[in-house]
């Protein structure tokens, strides 16, 4: 539309344990650029989101993020090498193996400490 320009869109990701989630996302490789009154701004390259000190189980359990990367297998290897699941297992963190999807994407699932599902993948085909 003429005269209308969007600059950015960010999701507010819920956190059951705000400080734990901040450490988790920093360990994933996101940079925490600010933290003010229960809202932390995280970025990795041109991708960003807001972590909020807010949690409702039904909301977090149905919340999903998608991170498009250049190589899902490399991401999976890196997170496995960091033992991200082992380090946060007591907080419900889980991760699946990468797989090709019928919608021409290769991805894997990562569940964060609050139950948020991340799909990390790259396009194929």
In CATH, what number is assigned to the domain containing residue 87? 3.10.180.10
**How far apart are alpha carbons 84 and 82 in whole angstroms?**
5
* Burial class of 61 by CB neighbour count within 10 A (0 to 12, 13 to 18, 19+): middle
Within-domain flag for 4: no
- Residues of the domain holding 52: 12-123
Query: How many domains does the chain divide into?
Result: 1
Within-domain flag for 1: no
Within-domain flag for 2: no
Within-domain flag for 6: no
Q: Could you give the 3-state DSSP secondary structure of residue 120?
A: strand
For the segment 21-76, what is each residue's pLDDT rounded down to a tens digit? 999 999 999 999 999 999 999 999 999 999 999 999 999 999 999 999 999 999 99
* Total-model pTM: 0.93
Within-domain flag for 5: no
CA dihedral for 59, 47, 119, 40, sign (positive or negative): negative
For the segment 14-26, what is each residue's pLDDT rounded down to a tens digit? 999 999 999 999 9
Within-domain flag for 103: yes
């Amino acid at each position: 539309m003429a005269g209308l320009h969007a600059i950015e869109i960010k999701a507010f990701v819920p956190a059951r344990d705000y400080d734990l989630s901040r450490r988790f996302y920093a360990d994933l490789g996101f940079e925490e650029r600010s933290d003010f009154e229960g809202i932390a701004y995280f970025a990795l390259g041109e991708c960003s989101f807001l972590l909020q000190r807010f949690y409702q189980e039904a909301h977090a359990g149905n919340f999903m993020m998608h991170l498009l990367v250049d190589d899902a297998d490399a991401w999976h290897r890196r997170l496995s090498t960091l033992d991200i699941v082992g380090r946060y297992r007591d907080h419900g963190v889980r991760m699946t193996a990468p797989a090709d999807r019928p919608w021409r994407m290769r991805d894997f699932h990562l569940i964060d400490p609050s139950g948020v599902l991340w799909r990390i993948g790259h396009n194929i085909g």
